[in-house]
Copies of this chain bind each other. A is one copy, B any other.
Amino acid sequence: MAKPDVQICEVGPRDGLQNAQHLMPTAAKKAWISALAAAGLTEIEVGSFVPARLIPAMADTGEIVAHGRSIPGLTVVALAPNVKGFQRALEAGAHKVTFPVSASRAHSQSNVRMSPEEMIAQVKQCIALRETLPADRRPQIEGAVATAFGCTLQGSVPEDDVVQFATMLAEAGCDAVALADTVGYANPAQVKRVFRRVRESIGGKLEGAHFHNTRGLGLANALAAYEEGVRNFDSSMGGLGGCPFAPGASGNVITEDLVFMFEAMGITTGIDLEKLFKAREVLVHAIPEEPVYGHTPVAGLPKGFRQAA
């Protein structure tokens, strides 16, 4: 299999379910993740290692990581908000751990009860901790600059702050840095500008783009990021998602429509759209009362449509 042109990380089991109104049973999560992998997703953020009393939907993340590890070829990603979460991720065997570092100080306090600098200090500790492990047990570490395009608490977020925290994460030893529009404030011009500035500072360590569709601009922002050279995208099936600690945050960019956009453009994703729609059925069947979004699954593929691959 040739490497696809873009790498899409499905974050629905983490970003989506942590904000869903309905709890998805553990068995259903496993079935959904298996269906996603069967559709060609090779990277799935399966959960987060946060206290279960704060986010009950994430209480089974350890078991979900274990299930993900049983799927050949799947990179199992988990979110950790601190050293303790990282230790749990290590125990579970996550292949990649993402740390959210909010460029908005207000959101950082709300989300992880730390300043961005304190959060980056946690990331450094985790990177040091990783060095003590055998080489085959060291997960990839990603620093994700959250609220990188604005914040519902703070309002605008200075681009200098985004560049600064992204640079600190890269210098701390993160393998990759992502920029996240946690609350759906980004616009395409800003996306190009901020990604360009961060790339000028940290080069190839800048990898992922994480957009929300709160104001309908998810795909336009993804297109702008692609044009700016980004090749790694987070998205969520059915547009599930938001941030429980950022008021007004809603819906991630929708995996189904994102994959359709790229494939229609001739950009390969490695994902089979028909199988992706099957995985959507698994999701809808598991939490049927949860609202799901996405135009392409409803409209169907264009007549005579063939995927880029």
Contacts and interface: CB of A to CB of B under 8 A. Distances in A.
Contacts of A294: 216
Given A219-B217, A219-B219, A296-B216, A302 B261 contact: no
A contact patch SS: loop
A226 to B, nearest CB: 9
Contact of A215 (B185, B220, B223, B299): B299
B265 A187 contact: yes
A125 B14 CA distance: 61
A22 to B, nearest CB: 21
A302 B155 contact: yes
B295 A215 contact: yes
Number of copies: 2
Interface residues of A, number: 43
A260 interface: yes
A261 B189 CA distance: 9
Contacts of A299: 184, 214-215, 248, 250
Given A216-B219, A223-B223, A295-B215, A188 B155 contact: no
Contacts of A215: 257, 260-261, 295-296, 299, 302
B213 A303 contact: no
A164 interface: no
Nearest to A254: B216
A300 B214 CA distance: 9
Contacts of A122: none
A250 to B, nearest CB: 7
Nearest to A293: B216
Given A187-B265, A220-B222, 18 more contacts: A150-B303, A152-B302, A155-B302, A155-B303, A188-B223, A188-B261, A213-B295, A214-B295, A215-B295, A215-B296, A215-B302, A216-B260, A216-B294, A217-B260, A217-B261, A217-B264, A217-B295, A250-B299
Interface of A: 150-156, 183-185, 187-190, 213-217, 219-220, 222-224, 227, 248, 250, 254, 257, 260-261, 264-267, 294-296, 299-300, 302-304
Q: List 10 tightest A-B contacts by C-beta distance, closest first.
A: A216-B295, A187-B264, A155-B304, A216-B257, A189-B265, A155-B303, A219-B220, A215-B296, A185-B302, A220-B220
